[in-house]
């Protein structure tokens, strides 16, 4: 148990390093490129990319997560997973190329027909490294994953910015993605200490595919819920509005994935090894959720508070229409941080089907919310999408109680103190906003709000929850730093 904790903390260090680095590179390059593109061009790439994002989840999580979850595997399992994933990617990429013209006509955006065939190459490139990544995840070796991901993002950022400066418009975003996935997956094949062989087992393929089908289906349904929002906004309000929406949506999702990608990989791998020790499993889950709330609540609220000065400072006045959209969408991060570890817990406890059920519920309710709100405009659509996340929390709590035995009241109690500290932080920043009364420049206002909010939250949380701050947050960090120090020795 202690060894698993140490390896999980070490893995969290590297995945967190990867996530922070990826966020900085992605956000920085996106800001630079977006300032040189028109909202309509960003909207067109968003529409084409939505298709590839959904299909890519089958490549990234299907056979890969099955290999991580299985108690025992051998060489043939990995070879079978590799060739099955590669063939699936080739078929999906071919489908994208064949359907590009029809999709462009349906969406009313001709540029999609040119962009989609090139973007579909992302599927094949990701398939080349998916199983090697799974091998590293299974062994809790997250360092090579982080190194390759950061190298890929850096190369993609450089290439995309160069293309934007050269006046290539929407193609700069396409080039950025292709360079990123090519460098990342070639790198992981080199560093993973594994090479695909030519052994293949239909029996293994069926077993891996059984678990992987649930994972892929749930990921697909979840992505459809998110990408359907992009499609509907584009169809209902046009590419220009979609461009403004895409900037707000991408910023929110980038921050969500910054933390979510890191914690999911480590949590799923660690929870899977505790699946036969239910008391330890429950303790690990409760502790993870408590930390997630302490970290996530102030981040979500803070994004709303600094939306106006932040977007004006970073993107410029051209993207001012994205500000109210960003403020509404950022509120969805509050329930998202609370449920951060739920999916990993369901799958690690061998209930992947329930992830699919929840993803289907989110998709159905999300589409219904958009349909009801769309006559009232894009702001109403964003508000309805966000409210849906709060309304579905009771269902999540019911499933955790029924399937895993985690008491809902214990989890809800873990949100009280971070919620109080966050509310006080909001009051302090709100008072500063009233006192400034628009007399400050956006960048000055942004720095002031972040400083007041960070200091206010840290002091409040230390007063009302000193044990949580010292023992959980700082204790975990100290343990992690100790591990890294021992590694250097």
**For residue 224, how many C-alpha atoms fall within 13 Å in the half-sphere facing its CB?**
18
Q: What is the mean pLDDT of residues 157-168?
A: 88
Indicate if the pLDDT at residue 474 is higher than 50: no
Residue 487 confidence (pLDDT) = 35
pLDDT-derived band at 167 (thresholds 50, 70, 90) equals confident
pLDDT tens digit sequence for 393-447: 888 888 888 877 778 887 888 788 889 999 999 999 888 888 876 667 888 888 8
Residue 481 confidence (pLDDT) = 35
Radius of gyration of the chain (CA): 22
Q: What is the mean pLDDT of residues 348-368?
A: 78
Q: What is the mean pLDDT of residues 26-46?
A: 77
Indicate if the pLDDT at residue 458 is higher than 50: yes
Indicate if the pLDDT at residue 16 is higher than 60: no
Indicate if the pLDDT at residue 461 is higher than 90: no
Token duo for residue 451: 């400083």
* Domain extent listing, the chain: 1-216, 274-489
Indicate if the pLDDT at residue 82 is higher than 70: yes
Residue 6 confidence (pLDDT) = 54
Residue 325 confidence (pLDDT) = 92
Residue 258 confidence (pLDDT) = 64
pLDDT tens digit sequence for 110-139: 888 889 999 999 999 988 888 888 887 777
Residue 208 confidence (pLDDT) = 65
pLDDT tens digit sequence for 48-57: 887 887 788 7
| Summary mean pLDDT of the chain | 78
pLDDT tens digit sequence for 218-239: 666 666 666 677 777 877 887 7
Name the nearest CA neighbour of 253 among 18, 26, 14: 26
Indicate if the pLDDT at residue 380 is higher than 90: yes
Indicate if the pLDDT at residue 468 is higher than 50: yes
Indicate if the pLDDT at residue 313 is higher than 50: yes
Indicate if the pLDDT at residue 338 is higher than 80: yes
Instruction: Give the count of beta carbons closer than 10 Å to the beta carbon of residue 336.
Output: 18
pLDDT-derived band at 179 (thresholds 50, 70, 90) equals very high
Evaluate whether 216 touches 352 at the Cβ level (below 8 Å): no
Residue 467 confidence (pLDDT) = 61
**For residue 249, how many C-alpha atoms fall within 13 Å in the half-sphere facing its CB?**
24
Evaluate whether 244 touches 322 at the Cβ level (below 8 Å): yes
Evaluate whether 388 touches 229 at the Cβ level (below 8 Å): no
């Amino acid at each position: 148990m202690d060894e698993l904790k140490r390896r999980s903390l070490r893995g969290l260090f590297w995945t967190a390093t990867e996530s922070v680095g990826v966020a900085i590179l992605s956000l920085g390059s996106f800001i630079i490129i977006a300032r040189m593109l028109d909202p309509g061009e960003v909207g067109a790439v968003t529409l084409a990319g939505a298709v590839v994002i959904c299909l890519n989840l089958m490549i990234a999580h299907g056979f890969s997560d099955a290999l991580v979850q299985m108690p025992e595997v051998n060489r043939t399992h990995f070879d079978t997973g590799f060739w099955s994933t590669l063939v699936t990617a080739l078929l999906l990429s071919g489908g994208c190329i064949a359907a590009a013209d029809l999709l462009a006509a349906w969406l009313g955006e001709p540029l999609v027909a040119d962009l989609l065939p090139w973007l579909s190459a992302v599927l094949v490139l990701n398939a080349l490294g998916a199983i090697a990544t799974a091998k590293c995840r299974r062994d809790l070796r997250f360092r090579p994953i982080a190194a390759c991901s950061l190298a890929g993002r850096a190369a993609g950022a450089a290439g995309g910015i160069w293309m934007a400066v050269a006046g290539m418009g929407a193609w700069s975003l396409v080039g950025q993605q292709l360079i990123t996935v090519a460098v990342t997956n070639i790198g992981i094949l080199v560093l993973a200490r594994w090479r695909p062989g030519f052994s293949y087992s239909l029996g293994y393929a069926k077993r891996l595919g059984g678990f992987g089908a649930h994972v892929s289906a749930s990921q697909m349904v979840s992505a459809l819920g998110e990408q359907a929002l992009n499609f509907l906004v584009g169809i209902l309000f046009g590419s220009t509005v979609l461009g403004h929406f895409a900037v707000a949506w991408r910023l929110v999702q980038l921050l969500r994935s910054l933390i979510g990608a890191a914690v999911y990989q480590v949590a799923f791998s660690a929870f899977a090894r505790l699946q036969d020790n239910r008391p330890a499993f429950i303790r690990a889950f409760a502790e993870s959720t408590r930390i997630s709330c302490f970290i996530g609540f102030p981040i979500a609220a803070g994004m709303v508070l600094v939306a106006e000065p932040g977007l004006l400072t970073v993107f410029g006045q051209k993207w001012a229409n994205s500000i109210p959209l960003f403020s509404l969408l950022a509120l969805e991060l509050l329930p998202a941080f609370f449920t951060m570890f739920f999916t990993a817990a369901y799958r690690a406890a061998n209930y992947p089907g329930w992830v699919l059920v929840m993803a289907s519920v989110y998709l159905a309710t999300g589409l219904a919310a958009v349909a009801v709100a769309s006559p009232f405009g894009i702001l109403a659509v964003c508000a309805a999408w966000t409210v849906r996340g709060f309304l579905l929390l009771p269902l999540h709590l019911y499933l955790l109680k029924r399937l895993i035995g985690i008491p809902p009241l214990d989890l809800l109690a873990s949100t009280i103190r971070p919620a109080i500290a966050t509310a006080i932080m909001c009051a302090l920043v709100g008072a500063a906003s009233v006192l400034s009364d628009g007399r400050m420049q956006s960048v000055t206002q942004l720095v002031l709000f972040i400083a007041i909010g960070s200091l206010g939250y840290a002091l409040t949380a230390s007063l009302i929850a000193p044990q949580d701050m010292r023992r959980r947050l700082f204790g975990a960090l100290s343990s992690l730093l100790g591990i890294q120090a021992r590694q250097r020795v």
